[in-house]
């Protein structure tokens, strides 16, 4: 089975599983999933209050080179703005309401900067998975900027941020800018060339949609010397199954139903 997944199984040729993985097994997706406004400080605070010690969030660039938390290129879904986030300055984006879409309790929530979230997570001993979510066409620039800012903001942190992306260009740029920061490649399915890709990008982890994760896949990834994170796992039974199979991290929206304690 391992051979079918592209792994050479001779014991003398196997790399050891990375033994420098300092991250918790439970990761709060976009801060607090769908319970608080995603990618906001309120989401990070809620995740912490529910026992999570690691959060995942999305980062992209404004048109004046400020790194902000936002998943979509469009502002429409999670703010009261319109158009593409990358077309605006941070000063303009900071005026938007990024919380009312989820409820009046979050009215006035703002789009945070990466540095603001760094300050909060570090002060509260929360590990960070920064997904590089570039505006199309800015993959390389965003990868460079995120890695540079993360290297600066987390310089004295006990646990370095894990940089992840679907974009090979973003991860290559991050590797060149900050080779000491760990990286993870995200994919919906297990790519046929996953082993070559992981080695070329010098990643430490493979982040797969949970429906693509099987026990043989986890074994193959470990056999090759990498870690595996499964996303987005929202059913407790599925989370338990994946952890029993050996998944190294579960990224979930369901922070109210999947407890890290």
Q: Which of 6-15, 52-61, 102-111, 169-178 shows the lowest mean pLDDT across its residues?
A: 6-15
Structure tokens, 52: 């999570």
Q: How far apart are CA 98 and CA 236, in angstroms?
A: 29
Q: In the chain, at which residue ranges do the beta strands (DSSP E only) sit?
A: 26-29, 54-61, 67-69, 127-132, 162-165, 183-187, 205-209, 227-231, 249-252
113 forms bridges with which residues in the sheet?
68
Entry pTM: 0.93
Q: What percent of the chain has pLDDT over 70?
A: 93
16 pLDDT higher than 50: no
Q: How many other CB atoms are there within 10 angstroms of residue 156's CB atom?
A: 6
- CB 115: neighbour CB atoms within 10 A? 15
Average pLDDT over residues 159-171: 98
Mean of pLDDT values over 100-115: 97
> pLDDT tens digits for 181-233?
999 999 999 999 999 999 999 999 999 999 999 999 999 999 999 999 999 99
Q: What is the pLDDT of residue 17?
A: 39
Q: How many CA atoms lie within 13 A of 47 on its CB side?
A: 34
Only one residue has tokens 């046929």, namely 192
Q: How far apart are CA 131 and CA 27, in angstroms?
A: 13
Catalytically annotated residue among 29, 207, 210, 222: 29
**Is 222 part of the annotated catalytic residue set?**
no
d(CA 249, CA 227): 8
Q: What does the DSSP assignment read for 65-99?
A: S-EEE-SSSBSTTTSS--SBGGGS-HHHHTTS-SS
Are the C-beta atoms of 210 and 230 separated by less than 8 Å? Answer: yes
Rounded percentage of the chain residues whose pLDDT exceeds 90: 92
**What is the predicted pLDDT for the residue at 5?**
54
Q: Are 67 and 146 in contact (CB under 8 A)?
A: yes
Average pLDDT estimate for 99-116: 97
Give yes or no for a contact between 254 and 234, defined as CB atoms under 8 angstroms apart: yes
Predicted pLDDT of residue 92: 98
**Average of pLDDT values for 9-16?**
37
Average pLDDT, the chain: 93
SS3 content of the chain, % helix, strand, coil (to 5): 35, 20, 50
| pLDDT tens sequence across 123-135 | 999 999 999 999 9
Residue 116 in this model has a pLDDT that exceeds 80: yes
pLDDT on residue 18 = 56
Domains of the chain with bracketed CATH? 3-252 (3.20.20.190)
């Amino acid at each position: 089975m391992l051979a079918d997944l592209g792994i050479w199984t001779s014991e003398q040729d196997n790399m050891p599983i990375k033994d420098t993985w300092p991250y918790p097994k439970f990761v709060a997706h976009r801060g607090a999933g769908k319970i608080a406004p995603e990618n906001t400080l309120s989401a990070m605070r809620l995740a912490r209050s529910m026992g999570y010690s690691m959060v995942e969030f999305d980062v992209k660039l404004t048109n004046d080179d400020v790194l902000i938390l936002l998943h979509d290129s469009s502002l429409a879904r999670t703010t009261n703005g319109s158009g593409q986030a990358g077309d605006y300055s941070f000063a303009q984006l900071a005026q938007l309401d990024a919380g009312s879409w989820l409820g009046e309790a979050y009215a006035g929530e703002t789009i945070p900067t990466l540095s603001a979230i760094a300050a909060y997570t570090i002060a509260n001993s929360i590990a960070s998975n920064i997904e590089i979510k570039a505006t199309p066409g800015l993959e390389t620039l965003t990868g460079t900027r995120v890695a540079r800012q993360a290297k600066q903001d987390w310089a004295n942190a006990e646990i370095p941020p894990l940089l992840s992306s679907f974009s090979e260009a973003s991860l290559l740029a991050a590797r060149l800018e900050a080779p000491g920061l760990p990286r993870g490649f995200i994919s919906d399915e297990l790519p046929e060339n996953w082993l070559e890709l992981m080695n070329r990008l010098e990643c430490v982890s493979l982040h797969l949609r949970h429906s693509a994760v099987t026990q043989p896949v986890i074994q193959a990834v470990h056999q090759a010397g990498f870690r595996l994170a499964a996303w987005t796992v929202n059913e407790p039974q599925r989370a338990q199954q994946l952890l029993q199979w050996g998944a190294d991290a579960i990224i979930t929206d369901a922070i109210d139903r999947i407890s890290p304690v």
